Structure 1
Amino acid sequence: MAAEQPPYMRVADDLRRRIARGEWSVGQRLPSRAQLALDYGVGPNVLQKAQERLIVEGLLEGRAGSGTYVREPRRRLRMIRSRHREQRRDSPFRSDMEEQGRSVGWESHSEARIPAPEHIAERLAIEPGDPCVRTLYEFLADGQPVQLSESWEPMAITGDTPVVLPELGPFAGKGVVERMRSIGVVVATAVEVPRPSRATQAQANLLGVSLGDLVTRIERTYHDVDGRPVETADIIVPDARWEIAYEIAVERPEG
């Protein structure tokens, strides 16, 4: 039997439907929280939590000393995943955002000699427990969080090289392809599997969304020219803000 929906979620769902129906237009102030709480038969704290959820979603905005208003719909932006970005001597994320005219940056934290969990070991074609470097990323565009990533690299490949830690050394910030090239490992393919998922509490906190909000989880694995996996990552993108588009090159016939 499914768990009963919390009261604030029921109120949020109904407010969302009323906004979609046009009961309140963009820029219009909603009735006071006290009035809405009375209408729904809930306490003011429940009503406040429901409105805060819709504020996070971008449907409402609170104005200090004035009330809560219907917000101009937030534009969903496009994130391009493409072959030509991988071929550049730079981070694919930096290339994508800079093409959109956005300033970019990221924060990262790496740990070495982390035993590979079973699912990561399978993706990297190594044994569970083999030492890896795990790096957690928070990517920013125009100072706002855009995506998260958890990356794993086998230390059997990078352990005795200057690029063992992705964001330190001479190739910091250059991306997996360029770093691997610097130690003689030629990345030939990247396999990506996008899946719908729900934000965990930790992901929600970093991305500025709510627990359980829809996200796209991209499972990406880089392979060298011999088909050996050299890095795998889970990339998390908030669905409400970004749509994922894949650009596929089509070879032209000769002659």
Structure 2
Amino acid sequence: MPREAPYLTTAEALRARLVAGEWQVGQRLPSRARLAEEYGVGRNVVQRSVDLLIADGLLEGRAGSGTYVRVPRERLRMVRARRRERSLAAVTERGRASAWDAHSDVRVPAPEDIAERLAVSPGDLCVRTHYEFLADGRPVQLSESWEPLALTGGTPIVLPERGPLAGKGVVERMRSIGVHVETVVELPRPARADRTQANLLGIGVGDLVLRIERTIYDTGGRPVETADIVVPDVRRAVVYEFAVER
């Protein structure tokens, strides 16, 4: 049998000591050099071990200070589901945030990647909306949504969070202008929080997040909205649930 990588062995040894309470919440761990000497490995091995435990939410790194035992955080289970009795676009979320802040910018030129996802030309004008979702007053999810201005411009729903259907969601808003949503496509990818995301979510730079690239299509296959959703891994476990067709 192949021998387990040294950094995994070291990480498991450190994990066991953390679970046993050898270091208390908020306490600083010994230096990389000291841990490397203790386990008979190189500093780079210790670094990879610590990075793994940071990604798992057990430790946190503080620039210029060291590595500390992280305060345990509740990891909310968020279920994104498609049910037979609903349309394909009716994605529900149990345990979703109870409030949100939103800010929209109108007439924003579509970057190349967004233009490709919306099937428009780069530079075509869009409405971009930044969302910060809150639970118990704490940020738990970010989203940046794009809608083609050619689709919603001049209608009451041009601003997603204002007007008669504010906060009703893409499906209901689009239906009000005669656009019927049929399909939602989501592409989840693991990523690391950049500085802006970390500041907004109250997590560390480089912490593990789930980035969900979502695009919503109408019955003709036309993209009507696309969004990048960022979920902090230490706070939310994202689960996909689908009904079995009979």
Could you tell me the TM-score, scaled by structure 1's length?
0.71
Matched, 1:246 2:240: yes
Match among 166, 169, 176 for residue 170 of structure 2 = 176
Going from structure 1 to structure 2, the CA distance change for 1:216 and 1:58 (only over 3 Å counts) comes to: closer
Going from structure 1 to structure 2, the CA distance change for 1:185 and 1:134 (only over 3 Å counts) comes to: same
Q: CA–CA distance in 2 between the matches of 1:23 and 1:85?
A: 45
User: Matches of residues 1-255 of structure 1 in structure 2 within 5 Å?
Assistant: 19-22=14-17, 25-26=20-21, 29=24, 36=30, 40=34, 59=58, 73-84=72-83, 87=86, 96=93, 99-100=94-95, 104-252=98-246
Structure 2 residue identity aligned to 1:186: H
Going from structure 1 to structure 2, the CA distance change for 1:135 and 1:117 (only over 3 Å counts) comes to: same
Q: CA–CA distance in 2 between the matches of 1:213 and 1:32?
A: 19
Give yes or no for contact 2:97–2:140 (8 Å, CA) kept in 1.
no
1:31 CA displacement: 11
Give yes or no for contact 1:171–1:179 (8 Å, CA) kept in 2.
yes
Going from structure 1 to structure 2, the CA distance change for 1:85 and 1:141 (only over 3 Å counts) comes to: farther
Aligned residues: 215
1:145 CA displacement: 1.2
- 1:68-91 deviation per Cα after TM superposition (whole angstroms, max 9, x unaligned): x96785443321111249958xx9
1:243 CA displacement: 1.9
1:36 CA displacement: 4.6
- 1:22-47 deviation per Cα after TM superposition (whole angstroms, max 9, x unaligned): 267349648976x956x949xxxxxx
Going from structure 1 to structure 2, the CA distance change for 1:110 and 1:32 (only over 3 Å counts) comes to: closer
Which one has the bigger helix percentage?
1
Structure 2 residue identity aligned to 1:20: R
Give yes or no for contact 2:210–2:231 (8 Å, CA) kept in 1.
yes
1:245 CA displacement: 1.1
Identity over aligned pairs, percent: 61
Give yes or no for contact 1:27–1:71 (8 Å, CA) kept in 2.
no
RMSD across aligned positions (CA): 3.7
Q: CA–CA distance in 1 between the matches of 2:192 and 2:58?
A: 19
Going from structure 1 to structure 2, the CA distance change for 1:246 and 1:55 (only over 3 Å counts) comes to: closer
Give yes or no for contact 2:102–2:131 (8 Å, CA) kept in 1.
yes
